[in-house]
Amino acid sequence: MKNRDYILFLTGLFTSKFAYFMMVVAVNWQLYQLTKSPLSLGLLGLFNFIPILLMSFFSGIIADIFNRKKILFLVIFFSMLNSLTLAVLTTKGLINPWLIYLLIGLNSAYYSFEAPARQSMLPTLVPRKKFPLAVSINNMVFHSTNFFGPAAAGFIIAYLGVSGVYFINVGIFFAALTSLLFMSPAVRNIVRPKFNFMEIKQGLSFVFKSPLIFSSMMIDFLATFFASATTLMPIFAVDILKIGPAQMGFLYAAPSAGAIVAGLIFTFLHKIKNQGRVLIYSVLLYGAATVFFALSRNYYLSLFFIAVAGAADMISAVIRNIVRQLSTPDHLRGRMTAVNMVFYNGGPQLGEVEAGFTAHFFGAPASVALGGLATIAITLYIAKKTPQLLNYKDKDN
């Protein structure tokens, strides 16, 4: 925490993600108010994922070639313009579902370059022995934004309307840009790949030929694909729990509240043996908590179960990140992260499509409960088929 650049890095992460998660709540609420359709919420996941899938072929190699700090700056700058556009269109009454899909698709295209640049920068800011602790702190900061952002968005929607969220986001993104300006120049790669198909292919081959890395990505993708409940939160809020936007904001925030608590514990207990087994157990807990959330009809019980799911996801996310980053050479980290981004974002985004369609035919609770059960079954299967992941132990711990 005495590292100036790391503090600025965390500040930029907190502010930009705070604005991003505020926008997620505002967009989901606005879209559901316009359409009253779970299918429209499911389509939102599709428009989020397609740009990420397309851009991932280039975003990783770009993060390995170019200045990662400048990449982050451009991503946040264009996200700020996106928020301003949403604010103006909403204020003037010109917004409609298709404009929302278009702007969210653009935002996802920008953010497809953010994760490879940001995650590849972290190992260059802290010593290897401190890296697991830094990952834990980063995840805790990330989840704190996913707690405070949605909670703030819920209250802002209730008192200032959706456009208020978008306007405030413009200022928050500007603060994130400012923190990046004060950072030292980004560390350049010693090995700088060329921008061509063979270099892109090398990154893909590295991931798919590494059972440890690939299995950690698959378990992340499948768990979030089947157990994603985020996009259905407006339905749970309005139709099942009978609550308003302010309370819905806390539903969005509850997973991150659980993640923050887990992160605080993990920060003090970051030297954990048998990390692979802890990873598997945490994903199983995530699936079980999701099932109980789906079955709950009490607001406070729902908050509790979704918070437990967030805590379990936090633990597994920290271990997955440690496994991937420390098992990857620096000159390949951008490309590895880009591949992981497809899995990491593809799971919940495509899961939103699956959840929306399943909810349309069987109802939101059945959709989420079946997803939780599927997560448990798939996790047990992967643990059995990939002993390298189940038995993983960090050699520095």
| Domain assignment of residue 397, yes or no | no
Q: So what's the pLDDT on residue 44?
A: 82
- pTM, 2 dp: 0.68
Lowest pLDDT segment from 26-35, 62-71, 269-278: 269-278
Band of residue 390 on the pLDDT scale cut at 50, 70, 90: confident
Q: Is the pLDDT of residue 2 over 80?
A: no
Q: So what's the pLDDT on residue 394?
A: 64
- The residue assigned the tokens 């996801």 is 313
Q: So what's the pLDDT on residue 188?
A: 56
Q: Is the pLDDT of residue 58 over 70?
A: yes
Q: So what's the pLDDT on residue 1?
A: 61
Q: So what's the pLDDT on residue 253?
A: 78
Q: Which residue has the higher pLDDT, 225 or 372?
A: 372
DSSP assignment of 215-256: HHHHHHHHHHHHH--GGGHHHIIIIIS---HHHHHHHHHHHH
Domain assignment of residue 215, given as a range: 4-390
State the burial class of residue 142 (Cβ atoms within 10 Å of its Cβ: 0-12, 13-18, 19+): buried
Q: So what's the pLDDT on residue 212?
A: 78
Band of residue 6 on the pLDDT scale cut at 50, 70, 90: confident
Number of domains in the chain: 1
* Residue 189: DSSP 8-state: P
pLDDT 10s digits, 288-312: 999 999 999 999 999 999 999 989 9
| Domain assignment of residue 169, yes or no | yes
Q: Is the pLDDT of residue 325 over 80?
A: no
| Domain assignment of residue 395, yes or no | no
Residue from 95, 80, 79, 116 nearest 27 by CA:
95
| Domain assignment of residue 396, yes or no | no
Q: So what's the pLDDT on residue 187?
A: 57
The answer to whether 154 touches 252, Cβ cutoff 8 Å, is: yes
Q: Is the pLDDT of residue 396 over 60?
A: no
- Length of the chain counted residue by residue: 397
| Domain assignment of residue 188, yes or no | yes
pLDDT 10s digits, 96-137: 999 999 999 999 888 888 878 887 787 777 777 777 777 778
Q: Is the pLDDT of residue 373 over 80?
A: yes
Q: Is the pLDDT of residue 21 over 80?
A: yes
CATH number reported for the structural domain that contains residue 207 in this entry: 1.20.1250.20
Q: What is the mean pLDDT of residues 249-268?
A: 79
**How do the residues of the chain divide into helix, strand and coil, expressed in percent and rounded to 5?**
85, 0, 15
Q: So what's the pLDDT on residue 308?
A: 93
pLDDT 10s digits, 83-95: 999 999 999 999 9
Alpha carbons 367 and 124: distance in angstroms, whole number: 42
Q: So what's the pLDDT on residue 278?
A: 86
| Domain assignment of residue 331, yes or no | yes
| Domain assignment of residue 385, yes or no | yes
pLDDT 10s digits, 165-177: 999 999 999 999 9
